[in-house]
Amino acid sequence: MNQFKLILCFILTGCILSLVWWLANATTNTHKDNVLANEASPQAMKFPSTPSHAAIDLTPQSESHPQKNNGVRIEPTQLPTPRPQESVYIPPIASKEETPSQPVYDGDLDDHEAYNEFLLDQEHGLKRDYIAAVDKKVQRLSQLLQKGINAGLPQSQLNEAKEKIAALQVMQQHLEKELNAQN
């Protein structure tokens, strides 16, 4: 049994070494070696050193000219002329001072009443911000509604816009009542 394990280890080690040797030689193969190998074969096809754009002409050639390459003629085409560089906006790299988007609780986490007060203040701030933003949003939606009326949009779309405006105003009034009731 030990002899079998020893033979199996030698075979496995040989396979691993062969794989490592093959990978090492596969990565060191250069383009120059490939060109030399291709030049040695009589059927090697020569390629230009720089890529060129080619057009294929499939029109039949006249009988007086012998056909070469089975009627396929490859011609280089003219490359498009480069355009002058357009101005591109590049944002500033310097970072601005980062301010926390939300206030951070600095109190003692064991004081539940203070933390609940902090959360309540955050909720009130959110409601006040919503109430302030509704006026601007309603004004913008009213302008868009007027443009839609002038453009002759279907009545269903106009009604949808009116419903959105009304819903924003109802929510604004509801939040104002909540804030007044809690204060």
Question: Could you report the per-residue pLDDT of 23-65, keeping only the tens digit for each?
Answer: 888 776 555 555 555 555 544 454 555 554 444 555 555 444 5
CA dihedral in degrees (29, 32, 37, 39; nearest 10)? 170
Ordered DSSP codes for 24-39 = HHHHH--HHHHHHHHH
- By C-alpha distance, which of 83, 70, 74, 73 is closest to 53? 74
Question: Could you report the per-residue pLDDT of 103-122, keeping only the tens digit for each?
Answer: 788 888 888 899 899 999 99
What pLDDT score does 173 carry? 95
Rounded to an integer, the average pLDDT of 172-180 is 93
Query: In whole angstroms, how far apart are CA 144 and each of 75, 97, 147, 166, 180?
Result: 57, 36, 5, 15, 32
**Mean pLDDT (the chain, rounded):** 76
Q: Let me know: does 157 contact 147? Beta carbons within 8 Å.
A: no
pLDDT(21) > 60: yes
What pLDDT score does 159 carry? 93
